Amino acid sequence: MINVNFTPKAGCAFSEKMAMKTVRIAAKFEKKIKGEVEINIVSDKKIREINRIYRGKDSVTDVLSFAWKEEEGVNEKSLGQIFISCDKIKRQAKEFGVSANEEFVRMLAHGLLHLVGYDHANKKEEKKMFDLQEKIVAETVIK
């Protein structure tokens, strides 16, 4: 079972319903996705600030994931936090020729996979992660 705490950004059309659907489908494909996840939709300014503080990168990014299980004394049911930039997602959607909702689903799936240990540090890991990510997107956006 997975619980979602969804915090939208005012003026951003990404819905809790779509977030829940994405998380349920992702959990169907990856059994490690269980427990509680916090999803925060933020501005470019906020994600840049978080990226600078926690990753030492003073730049805007699309999605950041923080796995709580890596932290001492955190409730074992807690999977982690995901921050998604609404502004960046809208720009990427235009750039890639997809809907903003599809790009939101893609970045949420990407963040979820990072929370459970997937990475794209090398080509083999990248292919595995991105293939699963796109499988989640296809099932979420089409159905």
Residues 115-137 have pLDDT tens digits of 999 998 899 999 999 999 999 99
Its sign, for the CA torsion 16, 92, 83, 85, is negative
- The pTM score is 0.91
pLDDT at 124: 92
pLDDT classification of 103: cutoffs 50, 70, 90: very high
We find that the CATH architecture of domain 2-142 is 3-Layer(aba) Sandwich (3.40)
Which residue type is seen at 138? Answer: A
Q: Which residue has the higher pLDDT, 4 or 118?
A: 118
Residue 38: strand pairing partners: 5, 81
Contact status, residue 47 vs residue 130, Cβ threshold 8 Å? no
Residue 83: strand pairing partners: 40, 64
Q: Is the pLDDT of residue 73 over 60?
A: no
User: In the chain, what are the domain boundaries?
Assistant: 2-142
Between CA 131 and CA 35 the distance in angstroms is 23
Q: Name the burial class of residue 101, with classes exposed (0-12), middle (13-18) and buried (19+) by CB atoms within 10 angstroms of its CB.
A: middle
